[in-house]
Structure 1
């Protein structure tokens, strides 16, 4: 499995699992009515944003987008979002994307990484980020409307670099 920069030609390969994950309603707060065209600029952001894909045997297994958490005086802290095709879970794509993102943030000179909205019931993601050194620095109660569980908290997670 390799991680490489995402291109416009990767978007049609990312879109099916992006759409499925958003509509599943368990981990992302994107609107359910996104289309392939309206979702693309949300994921493949222009610089300083950067998107990558995890690829194995020419199959896109997952993707991550990363960049500054805030503009201007907050731009020294990075943030990122990750999606792995549900059919590819358990194969290490999420961990590889996470490790790549941390290395990228260090190489780009960021001072820290802040994840603003990790759904507290997404225990596999929480565990992965904690294994990579992130700490939960706070939880916003009832900030996410989980499709099955109703209102649940969103963790803010932080990794100093």
Structure 2
């Protein structure tokens, strides 16, 4: 069973391990694969975010954050980022985090959720978000420098909560 809770400072080593593995591939996230632990944890766990950790069998298997997509008059729409440990791929971690985050976003008072950059070639993520009710509302040409495929399009995905 996958459990989710707010991230604690004691989780940072496990989060860094996941973040490092996910960005190292250079195919799903905009972060430089050589990004430092300090940079990534400062971003992922910053004060403007609600950061969560997913656990399974006493092991951290994923993490995500929720935040305002825009400040002030755009703050009613949530934005989010998700990372699953490569060791846990195919075990429902991403789906569980996605479902939890939609409920949590509603609880926090958000009226919609928008992803500003979902890499088009990340078919697993695109399919999951569509299954969870997100719609592709735009496509950004050559928005991402894919490590092996070069310039790649990205989607903007949206869901009213």
TM-score of the aligned structures, taking structure 1 as reference length: 0.96
Shift of 1:33: 2.8
Shift of 1:35: 1.4
- 2:4 paired residue number: 3
Cα distance in structure 1, aligned partners of 2:139 and 2:109:
27
- 2:71 paired residue number: 71
Shift of 1:160: 0.6
TM-score of the aligned structures, taking structure 2 as reference length: 0.96
Shift of 1:68: 0.6
Cα distance in structure 1, aligned partners of 2:133 and 2:160:
9
- 1:135 paired residue number: 135
- Name stretches of at least 5 consecutive residues in structure 2 with no aligned partner: none
- How many equivalent residue pairs? 160
Cα distance in structure 2, aligned partners of 1:159 and 1:153:
20
Secondary structure at the residue paired with 1:25?
coil
Q: CA RMSD in A?
A: 0.9
Secondary structure at the residue paired with 1:158?
strand
Cα distance in structure 2, aligned partners of 1:11 and 1:116:
25
- 1:155 paired residue number: 155
Q: How does 1:94-105 map to 2 (within 5 A)?
A: 94-105=94-105
1:41 is aligned to 2:42: yes
- 2:21 paired residue number: 20
